[in-house]
Chain A
């Protein structure tokens, strides 16, 4: 394999959620940290779509914001095209590098300045990165970008509130594309949208990827969306990666007990007659995660070792899985997922 475009190594991020100093002194309580992201490593090749899935609070957005530099890592490294982003990148070089990646957020409304016209919003990166110097050049480019995402150049004169949710997400995509990025981090880009609007945006994202060779990090809690979009998928549980696999394998042969549970929980919209297993237990509090494997209180295969020792991500049949049971060979291959055996009509 050639060098990855993005190489995330042992990435961690803690948040201090302690009470104020005085309270801590009076109530004699220590500082409290949330390990939002804990020792996460993965690589993404050029042109690939790598997805991160996991339930609320598993650390998806934190990883996204670490990658695009909105947050600083507590530990670990992010290497983009051979250059470490976390350390000592300054001035022109940092700008050159930053220009090559962009981010799209879940809420297209919150991420667009409500007082700016769409033209100004989309033109902002052109100004910041100084790629299109005159007003006229910029306006022309904005028109092209709006057409590219299925809006019309005349829409540039409107304000964000004059658009529907799906159209606003198109504006956000146009802005993300303005700087000609190679790499786009998409954090739940369609979660706020209706399925029919979601279909339009997902199709658009795939078209743009094919046309410009874009690389995506695609974050979602929706497994069928992730399956549709991604080449490879990383599954997060309480800030740690528990399994990374090519999309098809993950759905055909999920290994980690959490991945199996997650797939089991997806409602069967196709009414294949697949019987759901009962989902056990609640997601534990990230403030007070279980010792050992964080999934152990909900895991049907947990034993003593699982309650003590944190499992590391180790290759199992070629794909990384963090599970003592899998490593020890005491977890049977899941019943071949019935959902994987159904063939296309």
Chain B
């Protein structure tokens, strides 16, 4: 089997606080292959962004990776020097965040920003870099790219800016792109365009994408596989269609049931009672057990791990017996 582009094993991220150590990401493992989009969903505070931040080495102190390992094409990147990590960021790992303005410098023309990034990471001349930059802007759907490349960010609409950010994330031809809520601030029609652009580019360039969002619709349209997080843990991971159509974990089932449907008339939505626990008060056993409609004794005592329960599917729930893949 081919080597995954990104391989995360038993990743744990902790924050020491006055009242003890908080675990924001708790023993998470997953892989992403070349050309694959892994969606990461879960409600606010589940640890999605923190997982992404760990991969790109941008966890803010006092937070730190306290366990596990992260490999990019086989090489450990979680324990390397900050300088080495900085060289990987931007070059081998591209980043797209929710607010395009945080990634673009308002004082510089789009051309300056993209060309500089290209030249920092790839050894090409000014003219070649400019040619590539225009091609890239064209690829992400900026009309009249050759002329608009010399505009400033504020001359672009929100959706166009996000395209520029995507172009910027891709310009060094990275192996992996981390996109954290790339469409959340955008209108549905613009969001649909951005989703299309990201999907096409990933396929064409054979990049691996980790797409963090709380929007199941975006995941359904974009991802190949999806990881569902709950209270810092991986609840479930599998092919997107299987997880959406046939969720195993009771939390995923609740999540899917709470989304209003465009096709079915329902009087009431499925409702998960209560709310996600604070990191300082994660219950013993399965972290979902106080809200779970199917809870039984074992759930209150022992913590389930995300173990394989079907081909290409792992679930952290005692309802599903672990199967050892043949």
- Chain A residues within CB distance 8 Å of chain B: 55-56, 164-167, 194-200, 202-203, 206, 221, 223-225, 227-228, 251, 261-262, 264-272, 276, 278-279, 282-283, 339-340, 342, 344-345
Contact = CB atoms under 8 A, between A and B. Distances in A.
Interface stretch (B12-20, B78-86, B270-278): B270-278
B216 interface: yes
B154 to A, nearest CB: 13
B163 to A, nearest CB: 10
A177 to B, nearest CB: 20
Contact of A228 (B196, B245, B255, B266): B266
Contacts of B245: 271
B73 interface: no
Contacts of B188: 55, 221, 223, 262, 265-266
Given A271-B220, A282-B190, A199 B272 contact: yes
A266 B217 contact: yes
Nearest to B183: A267
Contact-residue bracket for chain B = 35 or more
A227 B262 contact: yes
Contacts of A200: 271-272
Given A269-B262, A283-B190, A340-B263, 16 more contacts: A195-B43, A195-B216, A195-B255, A195-B259, A196-B258, A197-B43, A199-B271, A199-B272, A223-B262, A227-B261, A267-B195, A268-B221, A269-B216, A282-B160, A342-B263, A344-B265
B102 interface: no
A272 B263 contact: yes
B324 interface: no
Closest 3 CB pairs of A and B: A267-B217, A199-B258, A228-B260
Given A194-B214, A268-B221, A278 B263 contact: no
Contacts of A270: 220, 244, 261-263
Nearest to A340: B263
Interface string B10-42: 000000000000000000000000000000000
Nearest to A258: B189
B263 A195 contact: no
A276 to B, nearest CB: 6
Given A269-B216, A271-B244, A342 B189 contact: no
6 contacts: A164-B275, A224-B261, A251-B262, A265-B191, A267-B191, A270-B244
Contacts of A264: 192
B323 interface: no
B66 to A, nearest CB: 27
B258 to A, nearest CB: 3
Interface of B: 43-44, 157, 159-160, 187-193, 195-196, 214-218, 220-221, 240-241, 244-245, 254-255, 257-272, 275
Contact of A261 (B189, B264, B266, B269): B189
Contacts of A251: 262
A270 B240 CA distance: 11
A224 B269 CA distance: 12
Given A195-B43, A195-B255, A262 B260 contact: no
Contacts of A340: 263
Tell me the interface secondary structure of chain A in the complex: helix
A243 to B, nearest CB: 16
Contact of A55 (B160, B187, B266): B187
A342 B265 CA distance: 11
A268 B189 contact: no
B221 A199 contact: no
B307 to A, nearest CB: 24
B44 A194 contact: yes
B92 to A, nearest CB: 29
A262 B191 CA distance: 11
Nearest to B215: A267
A175 to B, nearest CB: 20
Nearest to B272: A196
A268 B217 contact: yes
B264 A342 contact: yes
B229 to A, nearest CB: 12
Nearest to B278: A164
A267 B223 CA distance: 12
A264 B195 CA distance: 13
B267 to A, nearest CB: 7
B212 to A, nearest CB: 14
B220 A224 contact: no
B157 A198 contact: no
Nearest to B216: A269
Nearest to A264: B192
A265 B43 contact: no
B187 A224 contact: no
Nearest to A206: B268
B271 A203 contact: yes
B189 A279 contact: yes
A177 B220 CA distance: 38
Given A266-B262, A267-B221, A345-B264, A195 B187 contact: no
B217 A283 contact: no
Contacts of B265: 344
A275 B270 CA distance: 27
Contacts of B214: 194-195
A88 B224 CA distance: 60
Given A265-B191, A283-B157, A199 B220 contact: no
Contact of A199 (B190, B217, B269): B269
Given A206-B268, A269-B216, A283 B221 contact: no
